[in-house]
Structure 1
């Protein structure tokens, strides 16, 4: 406790965590207590304003386009190829006779979404291993003093699982002793080989597809149409087909 400088601790927290706007540190009993207040970090804006176009980075069909800066070359419903110009950063300044007086260049900015088709394939074996509890659960108690343990529970062997729970001993709310009382619960188990029924296999295939869909959503990709089927062989459950997805596109290409 004598080596702790609360002011230095608070300053170090503010330095290492910019999102924390206010910190106070104090010692109570055997605890160092930090009170913090978090602020909202402003999003970093792209300061690059050099002239550029927006190009398609994948083949697809444009479903939605919101242009904030630049001239749209494509519109919703149009197909596009990878590398094709979508929004131009070149502006034509016209006179009353619709003649080009001069050209100006801007940093093209737009939200563009396309739909495209991708393949989906997933397989898993119909046979799997499961753990079956065997025998009664064994409960033991032990004490821990710092890094030293005092207990009578045996070493964990293959075919056993152990759950441990510890509670620190304290005199008051803030005066915690370096002593813990713990409980263990040891369970024996055996490995049994099971085989999915058709209904179970189809349910597992759906679960795995939902996991895949969740990963797509985390990357900003949405599935709009699903054309997949599931079939069973002697040893495998196979799911495959195509998906129609919607994702954002628009790769910046500098205008020189």
Structure 2
């Protein structure tokens, strides 16, 4: 590969060699260090490739061996430049393109932030703007160590930051001090854990507080499950004082949800035509250049836009995008779901509800939903049996102590 690139830069030719002393000719070429490659015998002559610098040393050998040579093909940059010597604008364009690429390579055109969960990417980008770190900033104005230190100082729950430059990309990797992408727990006010739904307690693990229920018990909405008031007793089992804590427990409650979904069988559908109209544009940073006439969506037309980044490599993105806008005409047609299609759509809508419940950390135990289709609509109704961990807390307002403890405290003060 290296020899091929070197030959292209220096230039090489395909020769036709005709000689009565061909063997002596090739021996002398080897003796003088002239490299011939891809040698092929064609009828009474030979064909071989030779570099341009070696071609100039070939004339004495040809005279000694009475050899005739003819140039059949010319390759490489010297011949390319000579052939296009009158196309000045072409070479000026190449120089300008190289200068433009060099200018792009001295700036940052993409900022990538990874590892953040609690702190949103827009929040970190907003702070980077305050530090004058933005897309288009020059590389020599950036100090990766200072950027990392500033981010750690601004965001208290970020414990580690790595900032590095790869090509024209600025890569920022952060690590937060929360294990499960949540917030750091702080001391909270005393509270009771209450039930959000009426149902049956399936499991219960209490870490802090006094449990008032046990697995298998039923509970009503708003009923206290774990009390944040802890009684402190003496040796006589008398309550001497109360300790108020923030109740903490995993109480899983099984309850039923009423499900009902109705949609009409009649619906409107857009039928698109196969023919499309296209328009193109070129984005240079925040500037847009139209390549041809701009197509705007009219009545009964939809516009679809695609952006294609024109980066050189993955590590060398540049602020140049090709925009492709397509216009498709459509007609609005009235259609009706068949019974099979309606039941399938009802099943898909129910599945979407399942996915949303799972996202909310609600476990689905049983589904008893029936679907009926009449002349105008599709009706799905029934009950879902689900399990959910109780999370609702009610702050304790009355933080009073037992009367006995208050009286003893008053007596102690009188004695003093």
Higher mean C-alpha displacement, 205-214 vs 55-64: 55-64
| Residues 174 and 57 of structure 1, relative CA distance in 2, 3 Å threshold | closer
Flag the 1:211–1:15 CA change in 2: closer, same or farther, 3 A. farther
Structure 1 pair 141–58 and aligned structure 2 pair: CA distance change class (3 A): closer
Q: Give 1 or 2: higher helix fraction.
A: 2
1:66 aligned onto 2:208: no
Q: Following the alignment from structure 1 to structure 2, what is the Cα–Cα distance between the partners of residues 57 and 10? A: 46
Q: Give runs of aligned pairs for residues 47-86 of structure 1, distance below 5 A.
A: 47-48=187-188, 50=190, 52-86=191-225
**TM-score w.r.t. length of structure 1:** 0.79
SS at match of 2:349: helix
Establish whether residue 151 from structure 1 lines up as the match of residue 289 from structure 2: no
CA contact (8 A) 1:130 1:192 kept: yes
Q: Distance in 1 between matches of 2:207 and 2:230?
A: 14
- Matching residue of 2:329: 188
Corresponding residue of 2:41: none
Q: Distance in 2 between matches of 1:154 and 1:231?
A: 47
Q: Which residue of 1 aligns with 2:271?
A: 132
Deviation readout 1:96-116 (Å, 9 max, x if unpaired): xx7436344242321111112
Match in the other structure for 2:366? 225
* Unaligned segments of structure 1, at least 5 residues: none
- Residue equivalent to 2:147: 10
Distance change (3 Å), C-alpha of 1:47 and 1:192: same
Contact 2:300 2:329 in 1 (8 A): yes
Q: Secondary structure at the match of 2:202?
A: strand
Shift of 1:192: 1.4
Q: Kindly state the Cα deviation for residue 39 of structure 1 after the two structures are TM-superposed.
A: 0.7
Q: Which residue of 2 aligns with 1:251?
A: 393
Give the length in aligned residue pairs. Answer: 249
C-alpha displacement at 1:3, in angstroms? 6.7
Distance 2:159 2:331 in 1: 50
The corresponding residue for 1:234 is 375
More strand by share: 1
Q: Which residue of 2 aligns with 1:197?
A: 338
Give me the TM-score of the superposition, normalised by structure 2: 0.51
Q: Distance in 2 between matches of 1:179 and 1:137?
A: 25
